[in-house]
Amino acid sequence: MSTHTDTLVIGGGAAGLFCAWRAAGRGTVILAETGPDAGDPPPAWSLYDYLLPDPHYHRYTDETTGRALPQGRGLGGGTTVNSAAALRGQPWCYDDWAVPGWSWAECLPAFRALESDRQFAGDAYHGAAGPIPITRLGAGPLDEAVMDWCAHAGFDHVADHNAPGALGYGMWTTNRHDGGRWGTYAGVTPAARAAGVDIRADTTATRLLFDGNRCTGAELLGPEGPVTVLADRIVVCAGAFGTPALLMRSGVGPEPVLRELGVPPVSVLPGVGANLQDHPWCLLDVDVTDVAAIEARPVSGALLRYELPDPRAAHVEAEIFAWQARPYDPAAPATRVSFTAALMTPRSRGRFTLGPGGPRVCTGHLTNAGDARHMAEIVTRTAELVDALAADGVVAVPADAWWRAGDPVAAARAVVSTYNHHSGTCRMGGADDPATVVTPDLSVLGTTGLSVADSSILPIIPRANTTLPSMMIGYRAMDLVA
């Protein structure tokens, strides 16, 4: 069976739903999403339930650390399973890309258009009428204790972490409404359906179709069996792992990978699957002495963002925050809190690839010596916070705390894990750059009719959770795709 549509969008996550919704203004749209049309899974903050089968997750394993890499699966993608952090990053994150059309000034209008900020609506940097609500949580007892330490340590207070250049401590900026997440499933799906988008959940794009180098559609496998969808334009929004996998299966990727898969090459692009980036973090687990300090909210609302002094590297940015462990790990004590030390400017790079045995992911966390050194410094700063809270009787530190090991770099490398901000595997750049996969207009090099619009195009990962940047890319896609 075959059908035709003006635009075929593959992937219904943070970027894909925005892309499909806005594509409806240009004709008929089919949106194919591998996962279910099921909304936000309970519990509201759960992300790391690795052991139980759950249709809301794709599951990968990091060959660098051996740890699990869960990916959101279903309408809304990662926005249905993440912690609802809503940060954009700094203006220089985008200016540093040096990609025409993607400067901070050129991305800001989309950031404003997609959001409705509850505290700062309508100023030069914040939106007032978009489908994604942005708000700051109120402070609980643990938040107050963390922010008191930040103030005494000399950090500035920040009322809005999305203000350009904001560094310091303040409450998280989140996309939450009525106590729960409000991602693209809640915020964009109703509008997309109202605009006539044909949303097909539980439907996987198995292969892109080409006539020479022109992409003409895709083979889909859904609840009613296989179907061929022909389209005037195809936009892949399947994420940092799903997008390169689909390209490789379809003949777009590194020559050795295509040869191993036995796929005839359409466009040989060494950059497909390369440049994998993620924000690494290390968790310092402690227990609060009074569970009432965290009962009101499973994730601490206090966030510290600061830059490490390093004459060898500009703008080395760190995050420190805390969250209750139990919603992420049902076996954890109710008193358990994970203080998080995160490096937001990693230089380490990994790779995603596809072989006959399936996908392989190597994040490369802390393989760069500078990253390892910076992470050790962030852990040391986080330990200072934890020790101060312990001295005040707020938390109790385990006697065998890993961060008190003799070699802080080795200790950090032993426990480092993922912030789940995977990106960069179909890098956007100039057509003359051998690492480029996607040009500034989102076209896939060596093809026509095929575009990519998701976190995989990020040349350098922003200093932020990647939800809002992915939404911004999806929102802008139909302004750029021919």
pLDDT at 92: 94
From 166, 181, 163, select the one nearest 120 (Cα to Cα).
163
Q: Which two tokens stand for residue 317?
A: 């940015």
Report pLDDT digits (tens) over 77-123: 988 888 889 999 999 999 999 999 999 999 999 999 999 999 999 89
For residues 419-440, average pLDDT: 98
What's this model's pTM, rounded to 2 decimal places?
0.95
What type of residue is 189? T
Asked if residue 172 has pLDDT above 50, the reply is yes
For residues 252-280, average pLDDT: 98
- Mean pLDDT value across the chain: 93
pLDDT at 169: 98
From 176, 175, 189, select the one nearest 39 (Cα to Cα).
189
pLDDT at 298: 55
Structural domain boundaries of the chain?
Answer: 1-134+174-273+423-482, 138-171+280-345+366-415
Asked if residue 40 has pLDDT above 70, the reply is no
Q: How far apart are CA 131 and CA 182, in angstroms?
A: 9
pLDDT at 47: 43
What type of residue is 411? A
pLDDT at 179: 76
From residue 253, how far is each of 2, 173, 292, 362, 430 by CA, in Å? 27, 37, 52, 17, 17
For residues 311-340, average pLDDT: 85
pLDDT at 57: 66
Which CATH architecture describes the domain 138-171+280-345+366-415?
Answer: 2-Layer Sandwich (3.30)
Write down the CATH number for the domain with range 1-134+174-273+423-482. Answer: 3.50.50.60
Beta bridge partners of 320: 304, 341
Report pLDDT digits (tens) over 128-166: 999 999 999 889 899 999 999 999 999 999 999 999 999
Question: DSSP 3-state helix, strand, coil percentages of the chain (rounded to 5)?
Answer: 25, 30, 45
Asked if residue 468 has pLDDT above 70, the reply is yes
**pLDDT tier, 293 (very low <50, low <70, confident <90, very high otherwise):** confident
Q: Identify whether the C-beta of residue 433 lies closer than 8 Å to the C-beta of residue 422.
A: no
